[in-house]
């Protein structure tokens, strides 16, 4: 017999907790994220199931597993909850000057010059706001956004669709080859492994490393590497010292000013590929804040990276550009 009860209206809290439990796979994780007790989270889930008259979770499994009906229900409410949160943010957002808290995450690509200038700009335009800035990897920033530990992030766009977050594409950043300036081998020979110069690569846990590895496999390239590093500056220092070559992007290359005289950037031979950087925000982040950050980031990226690199390497102009 169905357990459907008309005594209670469908609660937004039930839907939000269901979404969190479906994503996290446990009552304990949902309790930690929401600050509610485990018993309260469980009570709300049971209320939702009673209201619908169906089992949404297989409660005998650990971690929690959605039933087939639960999977269908999750797909249907994801877009609805996103729309509700966005509507609430737009309805409740006051002027930028009245904002009280903004938590911003950024990949380290911007931490030497662009994010500091963004921070000064935002503090001037949002005088009543408290700020928190976090520098981390793209996947960590996206996870913090999903857990509502950040309001806005500047990251590499991941390959999977971010249904639960707002995304504004910002910059097309093509992959390029960086060699020691004194290197005499043709770029194609180096990339295809026909030179003694070793490949110095990004750490495999980074999104940028996975993008590069994926393209290399598609092209049938398998340059040997005995060196991995998560820090772009260290890679640039190693290449400048003649220890090897690397694949990076013009944005990252623009941060290697101290090594500029010892480095040379080249087109990636063969089929080109690129990464996209984006501003990613929770549905609760107001449009006015998003547009303020978006406008300033575009101006700063143009000033500190695009203009300079395209002047030094005119062939970049067609690929290293802002996305409108």
Based on the domain organization, do 84 and 56 belong to the same domain? Answer: yes
- Burial environment of residue 79 by CB neighbours within 10 A (0 to 12, 13 to 18, 19 or more): exposed
Based on the domain organization, do 184 and 162 belong to the same domain? Answer: no
Name, in order, each residue with C-beta under 8 angstroms of 144's C-beta and a sequence gap of 6 or more: 105, 134, 136, 150, 153
- DSSP labels, 170-184: EEEEE-EEEEETT--
Q: Which of 92, 112, 130 corresponds to the end of one domain?
A: 92
Position 194 in a domain = yes
**The total number of structural domains that make up the chain:** 3
264, β-bridge pairs: 179
CATH label of the domain that carries residue 260: 3.40.190.10
pLDDT on residue 118: 95
Based on the domain organization, do 65 and 183 belong to the same domain? Answer: no
pLDDT on residue 224: 64
Position 225 in a domain = yes
pLDDT on residue 92: 46
Based on the domain organization, do 101 and 87 belong to the same domain? Answer: no
Based on the domain organization, do 17 and 84 belong to the same domain? Answer: yes
With beta carbons less than 8 A apart as the criterion, state whether 55 and 70 touch.
Answer: yes
Position 4 in a domain = no
Based on the domain organization, do 180 and 268 belong to the same domain? Answer: yes
CA 86 to chain centre: 19
Q: What are the tens digits of pLDDT across the range 72-96? A: 898 888 878 777 766 655 554 555 6
Q: What are the tens digits of pLDDT across the range 113-141? A: 899 999 999 999 888 888 999 999 888 99
Q: Which of 33, 66, 92 corresponds to the end of one domain?
A: 92
172, β-bridge pairs: 276, 321
With beta carbons less than 8 A apart as the criterion, state whether 228 and 203 touch.
Answer: yes
List, for the chain, all residue ranges whose pLDDT scores fall below the cut of 70.
1-8, 85-99, 159-161, 223-226
Position 77 in a domain = yes
The helix-helix angle for 12-24 and 68-92 (nearest 10°) equals: 120
pLDDT on residue 270: 80
Position 6 in a domain = no
Q: Which domain holds residue 86?
A: 12-92
């Amino acid at each position: 017999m169905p357990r459907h009860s008309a005594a209670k209206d469908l609660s937004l809290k039930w839907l939000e907790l269901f979404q969190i439990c479906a994503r996290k796979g446990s009552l304990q994780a949902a309790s930690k994220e929401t600050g509610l007790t485990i018993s309260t989270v469980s009570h709300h889930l049971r209320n939702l199931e009673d209201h619908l008259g169906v089992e949404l979770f297989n409660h005998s499994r650990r971690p929690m597993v959605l039933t087939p009906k639960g999977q269908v229900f999750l797909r249907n409410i994801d877009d609805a909850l996103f729309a509700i949160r966005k509507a609430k943010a737009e309805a409740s957002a006051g002027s930028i000057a009245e904002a009280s808290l903004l938590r911003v995450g950024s990949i380290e690509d911007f931490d030497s010059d662009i994010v500091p200038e963004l921070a000064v700009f935002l503090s001037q335009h949002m005088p009543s706001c408290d700020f928190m800035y976090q520098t981390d990897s793209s996947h960590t920033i996206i996870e913090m956004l999903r857990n509502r530990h950040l309001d806005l992030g500047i990251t590499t766009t991941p390959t999977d669709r971010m249904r639960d977050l707002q995304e504004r594409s910002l910059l097309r950043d093509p992959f390029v080859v960086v060699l020691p300036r004194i290197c005499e081998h043709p770029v194609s020979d180096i990339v295809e492994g026909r030179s003694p110069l070793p490949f110095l690569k990004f750490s495999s846990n980074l999104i940028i490393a996975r993008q590069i590895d994926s393209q290399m496999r598609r092209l049938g390239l398998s340059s040997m590497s005995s060196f991995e590093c998560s820090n772009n500056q260290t890679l640039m220092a190693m290449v400048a010292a003649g220890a090897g070559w690397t694949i990076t992007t013009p944005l990252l290359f623009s941060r290697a000013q101290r090594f500029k005289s010892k480095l040379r950037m080249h087109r990636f031979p063969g089929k080109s590929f690129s990464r996209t950087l984006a501003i990613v925000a929770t549905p609760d982040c107001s449009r006015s804040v998003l547009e303020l950050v978006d406008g300033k980031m575009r101006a700063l990226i143009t000033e500190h990276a695009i203009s300079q690199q395209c002047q030094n390497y005119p062939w970049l102009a067609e690929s290293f550009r802002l996305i409108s």
